[in-house]
Amino acid sequence: MLGNLKPQAPDKILALMGEFRADPRQGKIDLGVGVYKDATGHTPIMRAVHAAEQRMLETETTKTYAGLSGEPEFQKAMGELILGDGLKSETTATLATVGGTGALRQALELARMANPDLRVFVSDPTWPNHVSIMNFMGLPVQTYRYFDAETRGVDFEGMKADLAAAKKGDMVLLHGCCHNPTGANLTLDQWAEIASILEKTGALPLIDLAYQGFGDGLEEDAAGTRLIASRIPEVLIAASCSKNFGIYRERTGCLLALCADAATRELAQGAMAFLNRQTYSFPPFHGAKIVSTVLTTPELRADWMAELEAVRSGMLRLREQLAGELRDLSGSDRFGFVAEHRGMFSRLGATPEQVKRIKEEFGIYMVGDSRINIAGLNDNTIPILARAIIEVGV
């Protein structure tokens, strides 16, 4: 029977990781997968995460099953991290999930349970796995304009026009901050305009919040999400702890369902617990416990925030350095967008042929749409990348 299986195209981002590893060249540069790396190319365990794990080792006495929807402590800490004072516990359903991707999957499943004819609007472009998961689930996908290839900023007029076509019963997937793959983000005023469109259309927003703390700061990166939450009666939020806690392999995330009233919250919470049970039963505990320990222990929380801030400002510095280097080499400001973008990624706007040449001639790996991971750079590699970009004629 298994011989009937069709070969699956490998995920492009993950395939690139393998290609990079197999490249024997000294001095190769990995700007592919969205994983934070320090200047030495290492992905460190954050200090507060390490300390939390040490405490857990000393205090945990059992490995028996825990909550099907996650532990209340984790749910509350995440709700507060994302929504701040705007968290309304009595109308918010929360589910611990297998990473941010698990939260996205459960959000799509939940919305489809509520509306079997669900159609999802996604930005053009978006994280390729968004579309891949939706295709796999058989969900109709509609793109909305997002990235202006000329300015490398947001095509906001196009975005608004396309989102106005969404209807009640549709879902609109928005990136809460640090848009992946482009790095181009909405201003708070633009978020307010999107909220007005959602009010008018009645479409359900699903906010993918995978990089809170990597853009303009923990609070600032949640501002768009909080604005939507304050104006739209039903909102889904899929959050990842992979990046801001650096616990990628622990698979820690959560889905928040903001509901119009307590009775709907009850329904949503029940459906979400059911979805976990049907998919993988209990969600992973370890990473969620790390997160709740860090967030509820004042000294660990302060240290985590300080380290996250250092990571964020380090990436901003790299952005400015790269933009400066490109300004010098090109004699123009046309790469100024690199310093304007936020988060881990920037889409350079190179053609697939140019991306291929940069890989083959310079040993620099970026995703085929010319997305670079800023955190893959350091003082030594920035001039090499800048030279490659100019030499292939981007």
What does the binding site for ligand LMR look like in residue numbers (CB under 6 A)?
13, 33-34, 127, 129, 180
The answer to whether residue 210 is catalytic is yes
The nearer residue to ligand LMR, 118 or 291, going by C-beta atoms, is: 291
The nearer residue to ligand LMR, 127 or 362, going by C-beta atoms, is: 127
Please check if 378 is assigned to a binding site: no
The nearer residue to ligand LMR, 34 or 205, going by C-beta atoms, is: 34
Please check if 371 is assigned to a binding site: yes
User: Which listed residue (96, 195, 203, 210) is catalytic?
Assistant: 210
Please check if 180 is assigned to a binding site: yes
Q: Which two tokens stand for residue 130?
A: 């968004």
User: Which listed residue (77, 243, 369, 386) is catalytic?
Assistant: 243
User: Which listed residue (93, 111, 127, 369) is catalytic?
Assistant: 127
Q: Which residue is nearest to ligand LMR (CB)?
A: 34
The nearer residue to ligand LMR, 127 or 144, going by C-beta atoms, is: 127
Least distance in Å: CB of 13 to ligand LMR? 4
Least distance in Å: CB of 126 to ligand LMR? 10
Least distance in Å: CB of 346 to ligand LMR? 13
User: Which listed residue (155, 208, 221, 369) is catalytic?
Assistant: 208
Least distance in Å: CB of 243 to ligand LMR? 8
The answer to whether residue 208 is catalytic is yes
Least distance in Å: CB of 99 to ligand LMR? 9
Alpha-carbon distance of 78 to 304, in angstroms, equals 14
The nearer residue to ligand LMR, 180 or 212, going by C-beta atoms, is: 180
Please check if 65 is assigned to a binding site: yes
The answer to whether residue 191 is catalytic is no
The answer to whether residue 243 is catalytic is yes
Please check if 55 is assigned to a binding site: no
Q: Residue positions in the annotated binding site?
A: 34, 65, 127, 180, 371
Residues serving a catalytic function are: 127, 208, 210, 243
Which residues make up each annotated binding site for substrate? 34, 65, 127, 180, 371
